[in-house]
Amino acid sequence: MQKSIIILIVSGALIGIALILLVLGNQMILEGINQGNGKISQSQSLIISAEFDIQETTQGVFAVQIIDFKDNTLTVKILDPLDIEIISQIINEEAIEKEFDIVDNGIYKLVIENEGTEEIQVFGAMGPLPDASKKLLGLISVCILIIGMVGMVGFGINGIKNRKKSI
């Protein structure tokens, strides 16, 4: 019985630590990511701006998700600080994520346009590409969470074995 209580406490502590690390890791990854959402139509587009410093990052990332995707025709564009189009892509799936190069300091814009006739709900985000250390923190927290869950399963198996022995 003593052994199973220790397994339960350690497993619970590992799960708690993993959840805290997951939250911190996600906050670090989303730091600097600008988000926006709204309904777009032929006459109205969604524009999300983000400031980039080439000394901090040379890569940016953007993501677009279409709520209730149908065969709609949407276009996404990335404009540099001089409003020169550096990426233009037709969206033909529910969600896309793509990286782009930062060539100059300034405010870059993510422009999502609807070429169809229906109003569409979209979500967009743009910011610096997270570095490897931020991604590693997320991976470590998932591993710790899995170890904690395995400990909980071990606690359950141990409890069943002890119950069978007492019967």
CATH of the domain at 92: 2.60.120.680
Q: Do 7 and 80 have their domain in common?
A: no
**CB contact set of 27 (below 8 Å; sequence gap of 6+):** none
Task: Specify the 3-state DSSP secondary structure of 75.
Answer: strand
**Strand locations in the chain (E):** 34-40, 46-52, 59-66, 74-79, 85-91, 95-101, 106-114, 120-128
Whole-prediction pTM value?
A: 0.71
More confident residue, 26 or 85: 85
Which amino acid is it at 129? L
pLDDT in tens, 93-145: 888 999 999 988 999 999 999 887 788 889 999 998 877 777 788 888 889 99
pLDDT given for residue 110 in this prediction: 94
Number of domains in the chain: 2
Residues 162 and 140 in one domain: yes
Domain of residue 87: give its range: 33-130
Same domain, 70 and 9: no
C-alpha 39/C-alpha 80 separation (Å) is 24
Give the residues across from 150 on adjacent strands: none
Same domain, 44 and 116: yes
What's the pLDDT at 111? 94
